[in-house]
């Protein structure tokens, strides 16, 4: 495949992620913050987001499985996840966090359990999507092309 | 990249008669992703500004730091209220702006601001809060503890530039 085709594929995929609401404008801002001084900025931020979220999800599952659920602890974790997901533009993850906090406030265990499932689902989805997007970017770069952020 | 070609057609006597340039132009790809105009607005006031940023979340810290750097600020980033206070202690008054996440464990942004204001005037250094909260009374509380500005999360480049400039303008000569 030539560079042009790869760039088109990348663009199409990214557009779908925005259309489906998996990503929002914050992600565009991340891309624009990337410059010569930090050529891997997006990858760096998103990788940190993946790692931190994975840890938080693990802690949340542990906290939810306790016989006596401490909703304050859960709320603090979800608050953090809401903040970081909104910073990277992982819109659906952020939305789930909003619902999760509502259930937390109402001390609604069932609601929290459902939110937990949704969170895991949305997180693995955006992770998969972004990893694929980065793969496409790698392909463009190794074919001698550039990621056409400014062009868009 | 543009899949172009260029060739020269010489005449029988070897002189260049015509030159052909073929360039493939890309038509505008179907919409959906409209990127914000690249490059920060002109923020000469913010260039070289020394800022300390305290946020406990690594992702947010990375993004906010980069936003500030885009605006031309010199940034030190720390991950807790304690670290912020100790950095202020050692570096003295070398920071012009303290950017504080309100929601931090152990010592939150309000408490950091109160401690800073115990020893320093209301405008030196300037303190700006960062919050994801939509509550109206957050601003009131910020004012009570001696903060000078407030930026809502998620932070956008333009919004941050505007609030930092407002805060600087409001405190000129103080």
> What CATH number has the domain bearing residue A37?
1.20.120.160
The residue count for chain B: 174
Query: What does the alpha-carbon distance between residue A112 and residue A108 come to, in Å, rounded to a whole number?
Result: 6
Interface ipTM: 0.91
Domain tally for chain A?
Answer: 1
Q: Are B29 and A8 in contact (CB under 8 A)?
A: yes
pLDDT of residue B94: 87
**With an 8 Å Cβ cutoff, are A32 and B35 in contact?**
yes
CATH of region B50-170 = 3.40.50.2300
pLDDT of residue B42: 57
User: Does some domain include residue A116?
Assistant: yes
User: Does some domain include residue A89?
Assistant: yes
User: Does some domain include residue A149?
Assistant: no
User: Does some domain include residue A150?
Assistant: no
Instruction: Specify the pTM.
Output: 0.83
pLDDT tens, residue by residue, B124-156: 899 999 998 888 899 999 999 999 999 999 999
Chain A positions contacting chain B at CB under 8 Å are 2-4, 8, 11, 14-15, 18-19, 25-26, 28-33, 38, 41, 44-45, 48-49, 52, 76, 79-80, 82-84, 86-88, 145, 149-150, 152
Q: Which residue has the higher pLDDT, B40 or B101?
A: B101
Burial of A86 (0-12, 13-18, 19+ CB in 10 A): buried
How confident is the model over A54-72, as a mean pLDDT? 96
Please tell me the distance in Å from B75's CA to the nearest CA on chain A.
Answer: 15
Domain ranges within chain B, ordered by starting residue: 50-170
User: Does some domain include residue A152?
Assistant: no
Please tell me the distance in Å from B162's CA to the nearest CA on chain A.
Answer: 16
DSSP B78: E
pLDDT tens, residue by residue, B83-97: 999 999 876 558 999
**With an 8 Å Cβ cutoff, are A52 and B105 in contact?**
no
**With an 8 Å Cβ cutoff, are B35 and A152 in contact?**
yes
Look up the domain containing A95 and give its range. 3-142
């Amino acid at each position: 495949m030539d560079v042009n085709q790869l760039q088109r594929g990348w663009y199409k995929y990214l557009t779908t992620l925005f259309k489906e609401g998996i990503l929002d404008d914050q992600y565009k801002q991340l891309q624009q913050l990337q410059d010569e001084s930090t050529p891997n900025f997006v990858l760096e931020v998103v990788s940190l987001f993946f790692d931190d979220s994975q840890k938080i999800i693990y802690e949340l599952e542990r906290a939810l499985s306790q016989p006596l659920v401490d909703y304050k602890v859960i709320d603090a974790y979800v608050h953090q996840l809401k903040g970081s997901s909104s910073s990277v533009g992982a819109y659906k993850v952020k939305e789930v966090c909003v619902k999760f906090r509502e259930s937390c406030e109402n001390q609604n265990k069932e609601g929290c359990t459902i939110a937990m499932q949704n969170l895991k689902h949305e997180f693995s989805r955006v992770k998969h999507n972004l990893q694929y997007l980065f793969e496409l970017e790698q392909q463009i770069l190794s074919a001698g092309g550039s990621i056409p952020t400014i062009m868009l | 990249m543009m899949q172009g070609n260029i060739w020269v057609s010489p005449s029988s006597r070897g002189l260049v008669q015509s030159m052909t340039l073929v360039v493939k132009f890309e038509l505008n790809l179907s919409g959906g992703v409209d990127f914000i105009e690249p490059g920060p607005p002109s923020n000469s006031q913010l260039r070289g500004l020394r800022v300390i940023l305290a946020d406990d979340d690594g992702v947010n810290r990375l993004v906010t730091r980069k936003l500030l750097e885009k605006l031309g600020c010199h940034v030190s980033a720390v991950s807790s209220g304690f670290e912020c206070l100790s950095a202020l202690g050692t570096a003295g008054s070398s920071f012009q702006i303290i950017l504080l996440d309100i929601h931090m464990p152990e010592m939150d942004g309000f408490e950091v601001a109160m401690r800073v204001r115990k020893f320093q005037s209301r405008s030196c250094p300037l303190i700006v809060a960062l919050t994801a909260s939509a509550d109206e009374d957050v601003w009131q509380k910020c004012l009570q503890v001696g903060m000078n500005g407030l930026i809502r999360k998620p932070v956008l480049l333009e919004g941050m530039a505007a609030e930092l400039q407002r805060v600087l303008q409001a405190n000129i000569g103080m």
